[in-house]
Amino acid sequence: MGISQRTSTKAEPLIISFTALALLTAAVQSTKSLCETVKRFKERNRTLGRLQDELEDLANILDSLIQVTDAKTSMLAFLHDPIRRCSQICGTFEQTMEVFNQNAVTGLRDWTKMQFMGSGVHEFIDTIGGYKSTISVGLGITTMHTSEVSHRDLQEYDEMAKDTAYDLGVHLQRIDEKMALSTFDNACNSDIRVDLEDERKATTQCLRICEDAKSRVKSLTNRGSSQVSQNTAEEVCRMASEVPNRNIYRIGEASASGGSDQVVVATTAGSFSIEKAESRSKSTQLVGSITDETLKRRVRDHYV
């Protein structure tokens, strides 16, 4: 019994990891399949052109997620809802496009009239963009956990998380409005209601990911500021410890008149505090702290 339990415990993370990777792979395939369908129908339609660009970006980010060699099961679990939802809505949207194309009366199709989950293509593009940005934020969290990032990178990442959270908040508000309307609309398709509930759940998780990212950035920024302050204090202490104990020589007045020379020096480390020093006519006046050798050389050069 003990051996069986240990084997099950060891196998469980592998099963979870395999499931998460399978979900991610399915999302990549679903995204790329929809992208190919959009290319096929796009022609010169600018709306579908925007959708194609968004799908290509999403596919690239999902590929990057697969290629992260140290991707942990916890990270994939963290991004489970947006990845699953991407796979689901891309597949459903592709089916909707095929049906809309078959039902078109004329050869020229107005794709903006196609309905999906109670809205049009433009809102679907925004939805895909929200998932794409959320997964990018999730990848950023992994980067912050495994690598050192600069203060500038943290600022840019924080802005990205805030922008994504704002867009997701708008999307969530639209979902709530649709769900409120569907409550009073008996003709509303039950499948649409289920989709809206699922979309709301995934969007809420996306917002949690953004909040986690902002908290992580704040933590790293505060840690960086504390480290800078500590380094500055240590540098000041180091510089202070390197300054030797010096004598201060205080002189009220030093003057030289006529043709006289006056030398006020100390050959030990120290400093002078002189209230008044004058030099007149051709006199020479030297005040300061110099070494024995320098003093001898100055005297020799001047007097000998």
* pLDDT given for residue 112 in this prediction: 87
Residues 252 and 273: their CA atoms lie apart, in Å, by 8
Residues 273 and 124 in one domain: no
* pLDDT given for residue 299 in this prediction: 63
The domain in which residue 253 lies consists of 247-303
Residues 233 and 253 in one domain: no
| Chain centre distance of CA 292 | 60
Residues 295 and 154 in one domain: no
* pLDDT given for residue 274 in this prediction: 62
* pLDDT given for residue 1 in this prediction: 44
Q: Of 204, 237, 270, which closes a domain? A: 237
Domain count of the fold of the chain:
2
* pLDDT given for residue 130 in this prediction: 96
Residues 177 and 286 in one domain: no
State pLDDT tens for residues 144-166: 777 777 888 888 989 999 999 99
Token couple for 155: 């600022």
Q: Of 210, 237, 264, which closes a domain? A: 237
Residues 117 and 28 in one domain: yes
Residues 62 and 86 in one domain: yes
Residues 276 and 176 in one domain: no
For residue 87, give Cα distances in angstroms to 19, 55, 245, 248: 14, 12, 73, 79
Residues of the chain predicted below pLDDT 70: 1-18, 69-73, 105-107, 183-189, 224-277, 279-292, 294-296, 298-304
* pLDDT given for residue 44 in this prediction: 86
* pLDDT given for residue 5 in this prediction: 45
Residues 34 and 71 in one domain: yes
* pLDDT given for residue 145 in this prediction: 73
Contact indicator for 160, 119 with CB cutoff of 8 Å: no
Q: Of 209, 237, 265, which closes a domain? A: 237
pTM of this structure: 0.68
The answer to whether position 242 is within a domain reads no
Q: Which helix (H) or strand (E) holds 110?
A: none
